[in-house]
Amino acid sequence: MNTSFLVFIVFALFFQLIMGANDGGTLLGSIISSNFIHPLFATIILFGSMFFAPFIFGTAVVKTLGTKILPLQYMNIQLLYGTVVATIIWVIIAQKIKYPVSISYTFVGALVGSGMATNFARKINVIEVYKVFGGLIVSILISFVLGFLLVKLINFLLQRATPKASIAFRILQIFTSVLLVLGYGSNDAEKTLSLIYMAAYITNTKISPNAKDPRIIFMLALLFIIGTLFFGGNVAVTSGFRIMRSKPKQTFLAQLIASSTVLYFAHIGMPISSTETLNMGLVGIGSGENPYTVKWGVVRNLILTWIVTIPSSIALSFAITFILEKIT
């Protein structure tokens, strides 16, 4: 097997660990935020759903990330390294400041920046890039608006409900937790699969990476869980507890909105951010129910982090790829 491919796989697997720390922390924080689901059971939900998602909902996002933004024939290994390393650096920075970032935003921005640093800059599919970034922005707005409207509707319908309604939301949250992670597994989690696919093609490795190979899916799900458990604590606290203190009803609605949105975009092959979709859904719910429960300082810092992500990832990846092109 090609040595260059094997070395890159090490970077790709580390990238999967970083995704677990960032995105896994967000998902785990949401699942346990209402203090109903035990962290151990939440971890089992996370792993199981991550493993089965590609088989249930497909892998259309792999094709978008791996071929549509920049055709494979115009990629080289330096470009891939620039993309991966820049993404890892930016996510580690976000970990240090305890705020989750969109790895989808970061990854696509880094891919564009790396492409600009090579001789293939004119081959970047600008329309596809606009579609991806547009989809990310639209998904955030959708989740906020839906959260605001749904909580208003639910509160109106349940204004005479007994305390038993809370029990129902606790039970329903188990199902939406599974659905949330399934959505993530069919959308965000496929970035590493895309990297493996691209690297195999570029290095002429004599394998045909299958996006639905159970062995690959199992390995990636396991690495994701390891990243979540060992490095995802800061992000889990921010997403699960620092934005607002969530009750079962609020957690259920946020997960329902995020999972439905992410699964729809995954179906059409459009990568979006589960992290941003979930967090903004929660902010919309808090705004619709009681704006004073939302910690707006935390929300402001989250949004600022998301805004600077695109230019930062483009600049980082451009610099890294430019240097690699000069020294190799």
pLDDT tens track for 25-36: 777 776 776 666
- Asked whether the predicted pLDDT for residue 252 surpasses 90, the reply is no
- 210 burial level (CB within 10 Å; 0-12, 13-18, 19+): middle
Distance of CA 187 to the CA centre of its chain: 7
Dihedral of the alpha carbons of 218, 62, 182, 139, in degrees to the nearest 10: 150
- Least confident residue range of 222-236, 258-272, 306-320: 222-236
Question: What pLDDT, on a 0 to 100 scale, did the predictor assign at position 239?
Answer: 47
Percent of the chain at pLDDT exceeding 90: 11
Task: Report pTM.
Answer: 0.79
Instruction: Give CA–CA dist 145/243, Å, rounded.
Output: 17
- Asked whether the predicted pLDDT for residue 209 surpasses 70, the reply is no
pLDDT tens track for 148-207: 999 899 888 887 766 666 778 888 888 887 887 777 776 665 678 778 878 888 888 766
88 to 49, 85, 223: CA distances (angstroms): 24, 5, 15
Which of 237, 249, 244, 256 lies closest to 180, judged by CA?
A: 256
- Asked whether the predicted pLDDT for residue 122 surpasses 70, the reply is yes
Find out whether 86 and 313 touch, Cβ atoms under 8 Å.
yes
pLDDT tens track for 43-68: 887 888 778 877 776 656 656 665 67
Rounded average pLDDT over 107-121: 88
Distance of CA 226 to the CA centre of its chain: 16
Percent of the chain at pLDDT exceeding 70: 84
- Count H helices and E strands in the chain, helices first: 14, 0
Give the other-Cβ count within 10 Å of 308's Cβ: 12
pLDDT tens track for 131-148: 888 888 888 899 999 999
Find out whether 257 and 46 touch, Cβ atoms under 8 Å.
no
Instruction: Give CA–CA dist 235/29, Å, rounded.
Output: 8
Give the other-Cβ count within 10 Å of 267's Cβ: 14
Rounded average pLDDT over 297-316: 86
Question: What pLDDT, on a 0 to 100 scale, did the predictor assign at position 91?
Answer: 84
Question: What pLDDT, on a 0 to 100 scale, did the predictor assign at position 207?
Answer: 66
pLDDT tier at 240 (50, 70, 90 boundaries)?
very low
DSSP 148-191: HHHHHHHHHHTTT--THHHHHHHHHHHHHHHHHHHHHHHTGGGH
**Token code pair at residue 67:** 């071929």
Question: What pLDDT, on a 0 to 100 scale, did the predictor assign at position 82?
Answer: 92
- Asked whether the predicted pLDDT for residue 100 surpasses 70, the reply is no
Which of 250, 270, 279, 246 lies closest to 94, judged by CA?
A: 279
Find out whether 116 and 43 touch, Cβ atoms under 8 Å.
no
- Asked whether the predicted pLDDT for residue 241 surpasses 50, the reply is no
**Token code pair at residue 295:** 């910690």
Instruction: Give CA–CA dist 305/259, Å, rounded.
Output: 23
**Token code pair at residue 320:** 């890294």
Q: What is the mean pLDDT of the chain?
A: 79
Find out whether 273 and 19 touch, Cβ atoms under 8 Å.
no
pLDDT tens track for 260-291: 888 787 777 777 777 788 888 888 988 888 88
Instruction: Give CA–CA dist 59/187, Å, rounded.
Output: 8
More confident call, 43 vs 313: 313
In sequence order, the 6+-apart residues with CB closer than 8 A to the CB of 86 are 106, 110, 113, 114, 313, 316, 317, 320
Distance of CA 181 to the CA centre of its chain: 10
Question: What pLDDT, on a 0 to 100 scale, did the predictor assign at position 212?
Answer: 67
Find out whether 27 and 181 touch, Cβ atoms under 8 Å.
yes
- Asked whether the predicted pLDDT for residue 317 surpasses 90, the reply is yes
